[in-house]
Amino acid sequence: MYDKYSKAAPITIGSPIPKASKGLLVSTNAVAGITMHFYQNNGTTFQSALHFLANTTNIVPVEVHTLPTALPAGATAFYLV
């Protein structure tokens, strides 16, 4: 059930995240809502915002297509491979 992550790589805002990505590592020092585009089963994408609590580090274990807008102040994100 546990996945093994060996690298964290920077994300270019607005560019597709490589398909080899196993998820995102998101760290915040303030409450943050981050907009993401996710893949659907039929190959299209949909947009949703995930909200993170202040002073947390989270792994989002899904394949994300794009982060379309800049991260809010106090948030950082990397994709995991």
pLDDT tens digits, residue range 45-78? 999 999 999 999 999 999 899 999 999 999 999 9
The answer as to whether 3 is a domain residue is no
* Surface-to-core class of residue 31, CB atoms within 10 Å of its CB (0-12 exposed, 13-18 middle, 19+ buried): middle
Determine the Cα–Cα distance for residues 28 and 56; give it in Å rounded to an integer.
6
pLDDT digits (tens, 9 = 90+) for 2-47: 668 889 999 999 999 998 899 999 999 999 999 999 999 898 999 9
Beta carbons within 10 angstroms of residue 50's beta carbon: 16
Give me the pLDDT at residue 1, please. 47
CB 60 within 8 A of CB 23: yes
Amino acid in position 59: I
Give me the pLDDT at residue 2, please. 63
The answer as to whether 1 is a domain residue is no
- How many domains, in total, are found in the chain? 1
The answer as to whether 43 is a domain residue is yes
The answer as to whether 60 is a domain residue is yes
pTM for this model (two decimals) = 0.87
Range of the domain at 56: 8-80
